[in-house]
Structure 1
Amino acid sequence: MTPTIRDARAEDEAGWRRLWQAYLTFYDHPLPEETTAFTWARLMSPDSALNMRLAVNGPDILGFAIHQHHASTWVAGDDCYLEDLFVDEAQRGGGIGRALIDDLRALARAKGWKRLYWHTGRDNARARALYDSYTPEDGHVRYRMTL
């Protein structure tokens, strides 16, 4: 099955929330409801840098790619950061993750962004197999400080 990839719409909230909760469970990272609500509001705001593409089959949301673009000091242009990528567990292995990345790569190129990047857990072997098919990991280690 080839999913349709499109921008998220207001009527997608319930389907996205179902996958978002599965994503948070996968990473064992619960979030307060107000954070999820705030994220959804930003995803729906035309003034927000945060955007989301969905893989859908009819009314069913199969996966999502949350991304944002930003200025870069390393290229003459902007970068695109793929912040969250998730595919419904029942749909994995069917090319949906690849379709979402390919779609985002095409979108970034069309907008003139210069690089697309993301990160994942070292032990996320299944995702890393997909990601390694695009480009080798770059050896960077992420640090995150809560403020």
Structure 2
Amino acid sequence: MTIVVREAEASDEGAWRRLWSGYLGHLDSTVPNEVTAHTWARILDPASPVFCRLAVVDGVVVGFAVCLLHEGSWALTPHCYLEDLFVAPESRGRGAGRALIEDIRALARTKGWDRLYWHTREDNPARRLYDGFAEASGMVVYKLTP
């Protein structure tokens, strides 16, 4: 099985939306349709700091990584926040998640970004994959809703 990782294109919207819906369901979350539409529009906008990489196997999109580039106060070059990573359940364990992270890491090196980072739930089974890249930072995340 060959996994190709590439930038999302306008023609990928249907495949991305199906995976996005699966991702939200996996997280037991919902996002209003207008937010999903806006997220997709930002992914396609070359001026946006949001971008999406897709994992493709035999012409089928099996996973995605949505990232956000942002400035930081501890570096001169951008940070890349891997906000959303999802692989279709039937494709898990075959390297698509690893390929997506490795692809973004290669982009970070090529473009000179300061870091690539993400956070996840403590009980996420994907931590087996993540722990192969780096040790968990031990940071605790707090969320406030204004």
Q: TM-score, normalised by structure 1?
A: 0.95
Q: Deviations over 1:124-145 (max 9, x none)?
A: 1x21110001111001011122
Unaligned runs of at least 5 residues, structure 2: none
Deviation at 1:103, TM superposition (A): 0.2
Whichever residue aligns with residue 7 of structure 1, its letter is E
Query: AA paired with 2:138?
Result: G
Equivalent pair of 2:63/2:86 in contact (CA under 8 Å):
yes
**Is structure 2 residue 57 aligned with structure 1 residue 57?**
yes
What is the correspondence of 1:83-94 to structure 2 with a 5 Å cutoff? Answer: 83-94=83-94
Q: Which moved more, 1:73-82 or 1:85-94?
A: 73-82
Q: 1:49, 1:58 → 2: CA distance? A: 29
Q: Deviations over 1:67-113 (max 9, x none)?
A: 12111222332211101000010000001100000000000110000
Q: Which moved more, 1:53-62 or 1:102-111?
A: 53-62
Give the residue type in structure 1 aligned to 2:83.
E
- Determine the structure 2 residue equivalent to 1:140: 139
Identity of aligned residues (%): 52
What SS does the aligned partner of 2:40 have? helix
Alpha-carbon distance between aligned partners in 2 of 1:60 and 1:109, rounded to the nearest angstrom: 27
CA offset at residue 5 of structure 1? 0.5
What SS does the corresponding residue of 2:80 show, helix, strand or coil? strand
Secondary structure of the equivalent of 1:63? strand
TM-score, structure 2 as length reference: 0.96
Are the equivalent residues in 1 in contact too, given 2:2–2:58 (CA < 8 A)? no
Instruction: Specify the alignment match of 1:106 in structure 2.
Output: 106
Q: Find the aligned partners of 2:42 and 2:14 in 1 and give their Cα distance.
A: 16
Runs of 4+ in 1 over 3 A off after TM superposition: none
The match for 1:38 is 38
More off after superposition, 74-83 vs 28-37: 74-83
**Equivalenced residues, count:** 146
8 Å contact from structure 2 (residues 65, 86) kept in 1: yes
Partner in structure 2 of residue 81 of structure 1: 81
**Matches of 1:55 and 1:15 in 2, distance apart?**
11
Alpha-carbon deviation of 1:34? 1.0
2:109 pairs with 1:121: no
The Cα of 1:58 is off from its aligned counterpart by 3.8
Q: Does 1:26 align with 2:26?
A: yes
